[in-house]
Structures are given as structure tokens and as C-alpha cells.
Amino acid sequence: MSINLHIRKMTGQDLDPLYRLLSDPEVMHFLEPPYTQEQASAFHQMGVSENPLVYAAEANDTFIGYVVYHPYEEDSIEIGWVLLPEYWRRGYASELTRIMIDKASKESKTLVIECDPRQEVTKHIAQKFGFARAGSRDGLDVYERNITIKKMDTDDEIKGKAYVHWRAWHEAYPGMVSQDYLDRFTLEKAEKMAFSWGGDLLIIAKAGDRVIGFIGYGDRGKEAPDTGEVFALYVLSEYYGTGVGKQLMEAGLEQLKGYPQICLWVLKENKRAIRFYEKCGFHPDGQEMFSKNVEATEISMVRNK
């Protein structure tokens, strides 16, 4: 059964399940002493106010907990989640983190998670989504996710893009393409390609000063002047599933928004990438071609407005 998981503003109907959540000693173990009904009511007001500090988390029309989403400092947003025990260890916290990252992606601010140093699950999820420990505050560990999506400008960024390209091929494609081609695709070759391409039609993702992914885009030229194309999208493996790929795709699609159709080519055996592109609105159009260079078949996927 598919699960409709989302966050929303709290309503009066959330007060009773919220009290059950906040009064549960197991839930509150690393947070605060269990709340009284009066304390839960006061907390509930933060979720129904005009500018909420917390939001209800709902799965298939059922309240499952709440999320924290509010300004932390001038250039950052704090996120977090507290769920009813029956929803622990079922992937909900990870999916809610992904939802909040998506929500914040257009604000270009650092995301912050605060947690008790003993909260191993929270720390694991933070690290899974590209957060790194930045210090402590009031006895809590502070994790920051400082992902920047930007045009490629400097020589260091071009070299970083080349490293992502080289490493991504050697991580993702063994067994899918010719090993001889992979052996010949060196970091030096990737750098020559990167500098010859330049940065006009490239957007990169950076974690701090490190390039961790990129998307290349453009058009089909005379072959199909009304069609834009995503030429390449690569992310380092440690950032798989963190939302970086989606942020890059959204940035690329924004650049291509003037085209009624956008296409891309993907290795037929790269099922993981195909699933990702399908989630981004692409679908196979039935075209295939065999690349002699890599000795593998590629399929075409398109996305229409």
C-alpha cells in the first residue's frame, strides 16, 4: 500500500494525539520530562499559530507526530521530528527529513539538526542526508547541511566537477559498460573534458567547498530545436538518497523551462537512475541506441510540459 506522507499546519484535532506523544516517557527520553495536558496544549499553540514553529506529520490522514521547521539563526533553518513509537524504524523519519530538505531547497539556507549526543538514530539520519557535526550548543550536538547549488565558476570547481565525473563512472558503471573504457577513463581525462566544456551549461552541488555533484544541460540543436536535454547528472555515492540529485535536476529543469520537451539518455541497465528520472517526470519514449565507445545500450527518456 502506498503511503501519503506529508507535513501540514496543526489543527484542533491534533491536540489529543499530540498529548499522547508528548506525555510518553519513551518518546521524551532524550528531550524533556513528559508533558502534562497543560504543557501539551501550550506546545500545540506553536503549531496552530500564524507562523508555526512546528507542523503535524501525517501519513494516510493519520497524525503520526510532528516536525520542527523554523528559523535557527539568520542564515539557517532548524529541522527535526518526533514520532509516535508505532512509527519508529519504518522509514518515516528519513522521508520526513527528505520532505523538509525539499521544502528548504529554494531558500538557500543552511539546515540544522540539534540532538542529544546519545540519539544515535537521529545522528545516523543526519549523516545519511549530508549533515556534518558542526559543534555543540546547550549540551546538544549540532549538525549542519550546507549544500549549495550554483553555476560552475572557478578552476577549483571545474576540477571538483571532473573528480565527481571520474569517480561516479567508476562507482556506478562497472559491469554496465566496457571495462576497457573505464580503465581508459582516468581523472586526467575527466579534467581535460571538464576544462574543454567550461561552465556555461553546468550547475554544481557543493557541500562546503567540496563539489559533490553536477548537472549538464543544453539543447538538441538543429536535430530538435524545441527539445532541451539533460546531458549528464552525477552525484558522489555518499550523497545518494540525500536529495542532492533532485536539487540538481530541479536547477537544470529551471534552466530548460523554455522548452516544451526535455530529453535525456541513460544506460538501459542503470535501473537506479531510470527510477530516479521517472520520479522527476521522465518516461521512456521507446528509442534505444548502442554506444560503441562504452559497448552498452542507452535508452531515451522524455519529459513534457
**Cβ-count burial of 134 within 10 angstroms (0-12 exposed, 13-18 middle, 19+ buried)?**
middle
The confidence score (pLDDT) of residue 1 equals: 47
**20-24, 157-161, 239-243: which range is least confident on average?**
239-243
DSSP string spanning 35-60? PPHHHHHHHHHHHHSSS-SEEEEEET
* pLDDT, tens digit, 9 for 90 and up, residues 259-297: 999 999 999 999 999 999 999 999 999 999 999 999 999
Which numeric CATH code is attached to 5-145? 3.40.630.30
pLDDT at position 2, please? 62
Dihedral pair phi/psi, residue 53, rounded to 5°: -95, -20
pLDDT of residue 105: 75
Q: What angle do CA 54, 59, 65 make, to 5 degrees?
A: 35
Across the chain, what does the average pLDDT equal?
A: 93
Give pTM, 2 decimals.
0.73
Return the CATH fold of 148-304: Aminopeptidase (3.40.630)
**Matching CATH topology for 5-145 and 148-304?**
yes
What percentage of residues in the chain have a pLDDT greater than 90? 82
Q: First vs last Cα of the chain: how many Å apart?
A: 29
| Predicted local confidence at residue 151, as pLDDT | 93
**What are the C-alpha distances in Å from 193 to residues 72, 157, 180, 188, 196?**
41, 13, 18, 9, 5
Domain range summary for the chain, segments of one domain joined by +: 5-145, 148-304
The per-residue pLDDT for range 26-68, each reduced to its tens digit, is 999 999 999 999 999 999 999 999 989 999 999 999 999 999 9
Amino acid making up residue 275: R
Q: Are 164 and 235 in contact (CB under 8 A)?
A: yes
